[in-house]
Amino acid sequence: MYLADYTWPELESYFDEKSLAIVPIGSTEQHGVHLPEGTDHIIAEGLAREAATRADYLCTPTINIGVSSHHRQFPGTMWVDAPAFRSYVESLSRNLAYHGVDRIVYVNAHGGNVPHLREVGRRLYEDEVAYAIEWMWDESIPELVTELFEQNGPHAGPKETSMVWYLTENVRAEQLEEAKETGCVDLADVQTHQNGARTFYDAVGNAETGSFGDPSDASKEKGEQLFDAACAQLVELCEWIHSQEFDELMPAGPVSNASAAE
């Protein structure tokens, strides 16, 4: 169920019965010459809403802008500073907790958000406000991604292209070959590290037009496979979290020598 579609009495009934919310989070940033800048939040919202429907959990409105300054050289890319992003997500999460939600799944589709969502989750965990965890769709189905694509790519590659194709068909198919030729098909072909140190900060340093992997290997049919498999993983995750006792999800108490000896 999508929160914004319901009245407050209807939502009160949900909070009386359940304490889990799904929060889709993405970005608005360049995704090569072939994908819309809304790619990440399109994917996050699609998965979050479908999982919420399948499992009858609450899905909030989507956070569309994330930590994306590493794509800033490309026109239209939007971003917020990391502290502002963390503060916003934490405030939203505490808002949910006020209504009785004590388990939150951040359905995230942007790699730049990952460390910040995990930090927010830790803050809520340590304060014993809520059990909030970050979930990245492609990390839930790595075997399928590897099976479908020879050159997967971490950004604007065939997996994201396939997902957008399935969800919206908003793919510039005529630009796929250009994306392959002018992007970075294989990260092994560019210098990303030196003596154990990561040597780049911005995507444009490795990919002229901002895409990684071989997007010409994408298809709507592959997107459907990815979507169904990832959605099933998300539903299982939500069911597992909902089944746990809240106290078991919260931090353990201090360890002492006496308790260890016993």
pLDDT of residue 249: 96
State residue 167 phi and psi, 5-degree precision: -80, -35
CA distance 202 to 175: 23
Determine, yes or no, domain membership for 169: yes
Q: What is the pLDDT of residues 140-192, one digit of tens each?
A: 999 999 999 999 988 999 999 999 999 998 999 999 999 999 999 998 888 88
Determine, yes or no, domain membership for 218: yes
Domain of 60?
3-248
Determine, yes or no, domain membership for 29: yes
**Total domains, the chain:** 1
Determine, yes or no, domain membership for 22: yes
Determine, yes or no, domain membership for 256: no
Determine, yes or no, domain membership for 200: yes
Determine, yes or no, domain membership for 260: no
3, 5, 12, 113, 230 from 226: Cα distances, Å: 26, 27, 34, 21, 6
Determine, yes or no, domain membership for 262: no
pTM (global) more than 0.85: yes
CATH code where residue 243 lies = 3.40.50.10310
Task: Answer yes or no: are the C-beta atoms of 201 and 70 closer than 8 Å.
Answer: yes
Task: Answer yes or no: are the C-beta atoms of 160 and 214 closer than 8 Å.
Answer: no
pLDDT of residue 261: 58
